Structure 1
Amino acid sequence: MSGLRTFTLTVMGTTDLHGNLFNWDYYLDREFDDYAHNDVGLAKISTLVSGVRDDVGRHRTLLLDAGDTIQGTPLAYYYAKVEPITRAHVHPMAAAMNAIGYTAAAVGNHEFNYGLQVLRMFERQLDFPLLAANAIDVSTGLPAFAPYVVKTVWRTGGPPLRVGILGLTNPGIAVWDRAVVEGLLTFPGLVEQALHWVPEVRAKSDLVIVAAHSGADLSSSLGDQVPFPENCAELVAETVPGIDAILVGHAHVEIPQRFVTNKVTGRPVLLTEPLFWGKRLSLMEFDLQVDSRWELVGSRSSVLSSASVDEDPRIVRLLRRDHEKVVTYVNARIGTCLEAMSAARSRFEDTPALGFINHVQALEVAKSTSLPVISLCAPFNRAAAIPAGEVSIRDVAGLYIFDNTLLGVRMTGAQLRDFLEESARYFRQVSGPGPFTAAEVSADVPDYNFDIAYGLSAPLTYGIDIAQPEGSRIVGLAYDGVPVSDSFEFAVAVNNYRQAGGGDFPHIASAPVLHNQQQEIRQLLIDWVKAAGVLDPAAFTRSDWRLVASGVPVVISTNG
């Protein structure tokens, strides 16, 4: 054994940065903070990365990302839509990642939100490859992005250490961004494509790492729309021989360290997922020995918190002007509001905040149909609040934090009832009206999958009886005071995520489309306030839906 030499390689990882460059909340116009006092942004990640490189030596490190980089903040929106990136103006997220020195990144599903032209421009601006082995060009049958890259990270007279990095993205792109990719790209499953590519990567590499934009635990919001699961990183680790570690993304959860045993080889595979928006940096350490070739003898991982360090002044200097442009943009005054309007309780009661969103959506769809129009929207941002007095772009944008577009579809009363029953799964079953805390009534369903309905010309009224089992909760569904019959037809205003099948709600993806002008809902809200000049919450104060238990109103004692 005297000929053996040892080496520890440190591989750092981020994921789901979602346009967070600095530790800044553009909606609140102040430094970012949350209940856990996390910090966000690439400027803080840069400091953590530099610290690790100083500790172990830069030549002993790699830096990866698992996707969802260019969507999610007003900064991301600004450089896609207001002042789109060009060859001359590099995307600030690309500029930061280049300056920090990333090795490779997987393509996330949200990379497609602004269209292929913006994505390809972003890709060209990077000094490192964007990887996606399972994004397939329909015309060629080949990967539309590099499937993998092999990096030589250390030489010392003996054999080089070669690290293969395979990128996998999410098959849900075919559903969520159908309008962008249909007919151009297909997205086969992660397991299937890993089985194809890992042997090739393994043959060229001593260590194989996968950057996967797919959550660790097996689950899917896609139903039977695609034959592949949305989240399956652990299944990839179990099924595909030859993988040493997976940097996990997409699920927005923190996994400091998890080992999964591969069922073919019996070897452990290391999984880690850092918390989203740059709140954490994953740190993977691989102990290797070499005689004639390198062999992995041990691995481990942990996460570092970006709240523990200051922003890297180099990144701040480089991109301060890009950030300040966005701050100026989002603070532009567009109107006034007669009284404060908050979304804090929109999950539990009919609020003017969501009524405003639904009203604007319904108005647009009504231009394309003579059917009675109803609208659906979800309480995306619990912290959203429009103040009394002057209203800025950021105030309105805070109500609608996703870059969704508006569609109108035709649905029957029976289909609408089924849809609302699915939405009502948001709540746990209870035995009485409470009082409850928010946590006691909220099931394990994200806020964006709880849609609330609103009638434009006449009220659509209903109760959600959470004393009843799932599937039997919608009571008293009526339009303009008349019970909704199964055959009654509505035009339904809905966002593109839901219409494409996001959340796997019944009927909506197959419903005939009546309106699709690729209008961004957030911009429609901003334009409405600009045109009206005055936002009056009283105009949207209704009690069209209510939460009940056996007919008795449910009491929620906290905004939770």
Structure 2
Amino acid sequence: YVENAAALVAEQVPGIDAILVGHAHTEIPEYRVKNKATGKDVVLSEPLKWGQRLTLFDFELSWVKGRWSVAKVAAKVLNSNTVAEDPKITGLLSDEHRKVVAYVNQVIGTSTQAMSSAEGPVKDVAIIDLINHVQAETVKGALAGSQWAALPVLSQASCFSRTAAIPSGQVTIKDAAGLYPFENTMEARLLTGAQVKDYLEYSARYYVQTAPGAPVDPAKLTNAEGVPDYNYDAVYGLVYDIDIAQPVGSRITGLSFQGKPVDPAAQFVLAVNNYRASGGGNFPHVPQAKQVWANSDEIRNTIIQWVKAKGTVDPAQFASVDWRLTRAGVAVF
């Protein structure tokens, strides 16, 4: 699975001067890749999401032998909030804008308490459990009556946004959608206990190795080797510790299911998003695993419909601390 294919295209396909890229979840004002065939630089740029920036490519042309050719390319990003709104554009979009605002502010239910994702990268928090609970419940319902119905269902979720929050009281579509900003859909894949452990070990590379007794700064504990938040998965339905004093590959301890150590040969169904299932993040086993169910509905819509159907979101019914960071058996937090 190639995460950033544009750089490979720039490197391997001759005749390209510049590429406007997307989906890297980061801002890239100017990134140069040397083309292997021509030796020339190809300039890549990605502006920040939601129209916050605009990329400006600057091409210098030269007239050689009766034709124009590109002599130099540069790129930069411009802040879209430094210019006045164009009344022609805002006039065209004002009706749609009103409708979208009205839609996202619709109340879909209530929550018995406030939930936040702020500590999601380092702790098992209720708001991530909510995503996982909805996914697991959806897959269990879909597999009812099938040959897979008796298998335990696990679920994976990432902390996509550290600012996601569900308030106490009224919950809107905006609150629920903020939990899942991507258009991912859901699948169910068949894994063994041994494969689930491998998956968790790979996920746990997200943490910076920290010796017992060394000071812990939560802000510096995550994103080791540049792993983004959306490529760290918590798995719901199991209990386990992540020993961050250990090297990558030897961090998962006490892995258990319903109070017993996980049998490496046991079969589990993993509720997983299509990005993971197609190899996103290069997690092991899942892309090759048997698909037992898939759905074309966006996960955020599934969460919205679940909240609507329940009416009340009560973390006491689905949230529990099932994983924690440790060092030599001692909890970090």
Normalising by structure 1, report the TM-score: 0.54
Partner of 1:511: 289
Equivalent runs, 1:125-204 vs 2, <5 Å: none
Q: What is the alpha-carbon distance in structure 2 between the residues aligned to residue 506 and residue 236 of structure 1?
A: 25
Partner of 2:310: 532
Question: SS of the residue aligned with 1:543?
Answer: coil
1:273 aligns with 2:46: yes
Kindly provide the CA deviation profile for residues 171-205 of structure 1, in whole angstroms up to 9, marking residues without a partner as x. Answer: xxxxxxxxxxxxxxxxxxxxxxxxxxxxxxxxxxx
Partner of 2:222: 441
Partner of 1:462: 240
Residue 397 of structure 1 and its aligned partner are, at CA, apart by: 1.6
1:420 aligns with 2:193: no
Question: SS of the residue aligned with 2:174?
Answer: helix
Partner of 2:146: none
Kept in 1: contact 2:3–2:280 (CA 8 A): no
Q: What is the alpha-carbon distance in structure 1 between the residues aligned to residue 194 and residue 302 of structure 2?
A: 30
Match of 1:379 among 155, 159, 162: 159
Q: What is the alpha-carbon distance in structure 2 between the residues aligned to residue 272 and residue 517 of structure 1?
A: 34
1:395 aligns with 2:175: yes
- Name which of structure 1's ranges 242-251 and 488-497 shifts more when overlaid on structure 2: 242-251
Q: What is the alpha-carbon distance in structure 1 between the residues aligned to residue 26 and residue 175 of structure 2?
A: 28
Kept in 2: contact 1:338–1:535 (CA 8 A): yes
Partner of 2:106: 332
Partner of 1:520: 298
What is the letter of the counterpart of residue 447 of structure 1?
D
Partner of 1:552: 330
Partner of 2:92: 318
Q: What is the alpha-carbon distance in structure 1 between the residues aligned to residue 11 and residue 302 of structure 2?
A: 46
Q: What is the alpha-carbon distance in structure 2 between the residues aligned to residue 262 and residue 405 of structure 1?
A: 35
Residue 547 of structure 1 and its aligned partner are, at CA, apart by: 0.8
- Name which of structure 1's ranges 529-538 and 432-441 shifts more when overlaid on structure 2: 432-441
Residue 258 of structure 1 and its aligned partner are, at CA, apart by: 4.8
Q: What is the alpha-carbon distance in structure 1 between the residues aligned to residue 229 and residue 322 of structure 2?
A: 19
Kindly provide the CA deviation profile for residues 488-521 of structure 1, in whole angstroms up to 9, marking residues without a partner as x. Answer: 1222211222122222211112222222243432
1:293 aligns with 2:67: yes
Q: What is the alpha-carbon distance in structure 1 between the residues aligned to residue 88 and residue 332 of structure 2?
A: 53
Q: Which runs of 5+ in 1 are unaligned?
A: 1-221, 223-228, 556-560
Kept in 2: contact 1:357–1:377 (CA 8 A): yes
Higher relative contact order (CA 8 A, sep 6+): 2
Q: What is the alpha-carbon distance in structure 1 between the residues aligned to residue 93 and residue 301 of structure 2?
A: 26
Q: What is the alpha-carbon distance in structure 1 between the residues aligned to residue 43 and residue 35 of structure 2?
A: 10
Residue 471 of structure 1 and its aligned partner are, at CA, apart by: 0.8
The change in CA–CA distance for 1:429 and 1:282 in structure 2 (over 3 A counts) is: same
What is the letter of the counterpart of residue 153 of structure 2?
V
Normalising by structure 2, report the TM-score: 0.88
Partner of 2:136: 362
Partner of 2:191: 411
Equivalent runs, 1:465-484 vs 2, <5 Å: 465-484=243-262
The change in CA–CA distance for 1:498 and 1:393 in structure 2 (over 3 A counts) is: same
Residue 468 of structure 1 and its aligned partner are, at CA, apart by: 0.8
Residue 462 of structure 1 and its aligned partner are, at CA, apart by: 0.3
Q: What is the alpha-carbon distance in structure 1 between the residues aligned to residue 90 and residue 219 of structure 2?
A: 39
User: What percent of counterpart residues are identical?
Assistant: 52
What is the letter of the counterpart of residue 437 of structure 1?
P
- Name which of structure 1's ranges 430-439 and 341-350 shifts more when overlaid on structure 2: 430-439
Higher strand share: 2
Residue 233 of structure 1 and its aligned partner are, at CA, apart by: 4.3
Q: What is the alpha-carbon distance in structure 2 between the residues aligned to residue 232 and residue 527 of structure 1?
A: 35
Question: SS of the residue aligned with 2:282?
Answer: coil
Match of 1:309 among 69, 72, 83: 83
Partner of 1:47: none
The change in CA–CA distance for 1:329 and 1:542 in structure 2 (over 3 A counts) is: same
C-alpha RMSD of the superposition:
2.3
Kept in 2: contact 1:429–1:441 (CA 8 A): no
Kindly provide the CA deviation profile for residues 325-368 of structure 1, in whole angstroms up to 9, marking residues without a partner as x. Answer: 11111111121111111111111111111111111111122221
Q: What is the alpha-carbon distance in structure 2 between the residues aligned to residue 256 and residue 394 of structure 1?
A: 30
Kept in 2: contact 1:405–1:518 (CA 8 A): yes
What is the letter of the counterpart of residue 282 of structure 1?
T
Partner of 1:450: 232
Kindly provide the CA deviation profile for residues 106-164 of structure 1, in whole angstroms up to 9, marking residues without a partner as x. Answer: xxxxxxxxxxxxxxxxxxxxxxxxxxxxxxxxxxxxxxxxxxxxxxxxxxxxxxxxxxx
Residue 540 of structure 1 and its aligned partner are, at CA, apart by: 2.8
What is the letter of the counterpart of residue 341 of structure 1?
M
Partner of 1:231: 4
Residue 265 of structure 1 and its aligned partner are, at CA, apart by: 4.3
Q: What is the alpha-carbon distance in structure 1 between the residues aligned to residue 12 and residue 132 of structure 2?
A: 45
Q: What is the alpha-carbon distance in structure 2 between the residues aligned to residue 258 and residue 404 of structure 1?
A: 28
Kept in 1: contact 2:54–2:78 (CA 8 A): yes
Partner of 1:341: 115
User: How many residue pairs get matched?
Assistant: 324
The change in CA–CA distance for 1:315 and 1:511 in structure 2 (over 3 A counts) is: same
Kept in 1: contact 2:35–2:42 (CA 8 A): yes
The change in CA–CA distance for 1:283 and 1:516 in structure 2 (over 3 A counts) is: closer
Kept in 1: contact 2:116–2:166 (CA 8 A): yes
Residue 447 of structure 1 and its aligned partner are, at CA, apart by: 1.5
